[in-house]
């Protein structure tokens, strides 16, 4: 199932019709044996189901921008926490 592509200026028809051989990978470094020797698998933590009360306007705003609005809200909160941690380190 294709994800909805709202408000994008990307030419998805062109991208969807491209073959792998048509993609320019020249700006991406090759992953050599050294990379894979040092690579480690990082599994995402499972999310915890919670009930949270939010203003209706918040829900409407996120729902208008994404079908995955709960994930977007989580991302915003994660960014906020990271920014607070960084600010605390600087002081």
Residue 51, domain member (yes or no): yes
Residue 88, domain member (yes or no): yes
**How many domains would you assign to the chain?**
1
pLDDT tens column, 41-61: 999 899 999 999 999 999 999
DSSP string, 33-88: HHHHHH----PPPPPPP------HHHHHHHHHH-TTHHHHHHHHHHHHHHHHHHHH
pLDDT tens column, 6-17: 677 889 898 999
> At how many degrees (to 10) do helices 69-90 and 56-65 cross?
110
Residue 17, domain member (yes or no): no
Measured between alpha carbons, how far is 6 from 63 in angstroms, rounded to an integer? 12
What is the domain extent for residue 62? 45-91
Residue 82, domain member (yes or no): yes
Residue given tokens 């705003």 in the structure block: 61
Residue 65, domain member (yes or no): yes
pTM above 0.85, yes or no: no
């Amino acid at each position: 199932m294709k994800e909805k592509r709202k408000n994008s200026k990307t030419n998805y028809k062109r991208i969807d019709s491209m073959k792998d051989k048509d993609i320019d990978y020249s700006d991406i470094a090759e992953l050599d044996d050294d990379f894979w020797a040092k690579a480690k698998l990082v599994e995402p933590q499972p999310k915890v189901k919670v009930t949270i009360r939010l203003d209706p306007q918040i829900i409407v705003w996120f729902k208008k921008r994404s079908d995955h609005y709960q994930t977007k809200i989580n991302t915003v909160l994660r960014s906020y926490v990271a920014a607070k941690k960084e600010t605390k380190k600087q002081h």
